[in-house]
Amino acid sequence: MSPIQYIDAKTIISEYRTENEWFGANYNMNIYKGCNHGCIYCDSRSECYQVENFDQVRAKNNALTLIERDLKSKTKKGVVGSGAMSDPYNPFEKELCLTRGALALLHRYGFGVCLFTKSDLILRDLDLLCEISRHSPVLAAITITTSDDALSKKLERNVSLSSERFKAIKGLSDAGLFAGVLLMPVLPFIEDTPENIRSIVRMAHDHHARFIYATPHFGVTLRTNQREWYYNKLDLLFPGLKEQYIKTFGNEYACSSPRSKQLWSVFTQECDRYGILYRMDDIIKTTQKGYGYEQISLF
């Protein structure tokens, strides 16, 4: 693992200009830039995001000072999302504790938080997340795309195994927090089987997940240099599969599973069977219930 690098930033917490329907977050926070998880499918590699040398994790200089300044400048409280572009619990976070420091500041200034991660390191901050939940919404969405640990290790080589992520969800949920699964992407011809979907929903239920969010197309997005990266990994890990992608999808951005309708039916039926939320509106309303949802939704 390469040493951490530091970059300058003028601000870290930005406000969404339009009403955000992504788990009810009002603000976005990226403490780190780049990611070394090594996932073969990562959309953040796309050229449009302009992140050079994506596998090199960089932290932002004076991050906690900037975050405190940003929070003080906000005229409205709200929910701060973190993890849309780079995982807030990358391996460097274990020592740097920048995400933990940010959570302490969110608690101090009365903000909620939505965390998106593939790491069980989130359990380290259980105490702070519980403190925040006393006054503001807390949501933890942990990405899991396969129930098979061996496959997850191939697809996401530097992150916690799927089984470890399920255990993290249980730890968060058992502490009273709103935690669940982010089931995306689902890689066509690799993960898009009814058996995988049923297994994920069942394991989510067994580990007390409150929600699972997926999209009906059950696929992966591919564009610019991300496509090249993905196809190179397919050649290495699944010889011959790249040609099937090219034949099926050509240069399409959204590569939906040919089984998407069947998978969506299986997914919704299984979620209904176990009482797991899967519609975004229901997820947002439930996580904000008891925190003055009517007021927060106006931010």
- pLDDT of 139-158, one tens digit each? 999 999 999 999 999 999 99
The contacts found for 92-96 with CB under 8 angstroms, 24 or more apart, are 92/4, 92/32, 92/57, 92/59, 93/32, 93/119, 93/121, 94/121, 94/124, 96/4, 96/59
pLDDT classification of 299: cutoffs 50, 70, 90 = very low
State residue 298's pLDDT score: 41
pLDDT at 229 over 80: yes
State residue 294's pLDDT score: 45
pLDDT at 86 over 70: yes
Structural domain boundaries of the chain? 5-296
pLDDT at 83 over 70: yes
Structural class in CATH, domain 5-296: alpha beta
State residue 280's pLDDT score: 96
pLDDT classification of 18: cutoffs 50, 70, 90 = low
The mean of the pLDDT values for the chain is: 92
What is the tens place of the pLDDT at every residue in 46-79? 766 667 777 789 999 999 999 999 999 998 999 9
Tell me the residue length of the chain.
299
Q: Please give the average per-residue pLDDT across 12-24, as a whole number.
A: 82
DSSP-derived secondary structure letter, 4: P
pLDDT classification of 293: cutoffs 50, 70, 90 = very low
pLDDT classification of 297: cutoffs 50, 70, 90 = very low
